[in-house]
A and B are shown apart, each in its own frame.
Chain A
């Protein structure tokens, strides 16, 4: 039982490049979310999903796409990276909202 696994742990992108941050969980959790955390700030919700095939926008969705084709995976796509997307990204999952969310260890992204 690995919990929530995020890859890569670190990434440097050039402005305009695209990439996908991977998130996988092996706990059969229905709910999954993506957050970003900027220095000295709390976490802000980007997108979330309540099950396979269902996604919705959070507070700061612009510039990001998600899909949920399986229960286990919830990738986050940056379409055209901008320096403003430099941040730490956390993925989280929960069993239908019961109890708390389990967070991954994060992906540290720098866009130059």
Chain B
């Protein structure tokens, strides 16, 4: 089972920042937090990941709390095309393998 907790749905106005929260209270020291999104029925798309420092790329910013028990994905200027299901995932590393365990994610709807 997924070990992260996300709200099932959120709304955001176009042009505003979308802040998507994720709780991962049992995360261990060597586990990363990854974010993916799935637009309609397409394959998931990687957005960003982090260990303990905040991260930013061309798509989003990731803010991780100091105790690493939660994080927030920020889409700074949401557009209609950002409407998607967003998944927060702890990456489990076992002996060199890497498995993604998806939860149900947050359905973000960006409204005009």
Contact = CB atoms under 8 A, between A and B. Distances in A.
Contact of B99 (A58, A90, A104): A58
Interface in A85-112: 88, 90, 92, 94, 97, 99-106
A41 B2 CA distance: 12
Contacts of A88: 41
B96 interface: yes
Chain A interface mostly = strand
Contact of A103 (B45, B91, B96): B45
A74 interface: no
B98 A42 contact: no
Contact of B46 (A58, A100, A105): A100
Chain B interface mostly = strand
A45 interface: yes
Which of under 10, 10 to 19, 20 to 34, or 35 or more describes the interface residues of A? Answer: 20 to 34
B96 A101 contact: no
Contact of B104 (A41, A58, A101): A41
B46 A99 contact: yes
A47 to B, nearest CB: 10
Interface string B88-103: 0001010011111111
A100 B102 CA distance: 14
Contact of A33 (B91, B96, B100, B104): B100
Given A48-B99, A94-B98, A42 B43 contact: no
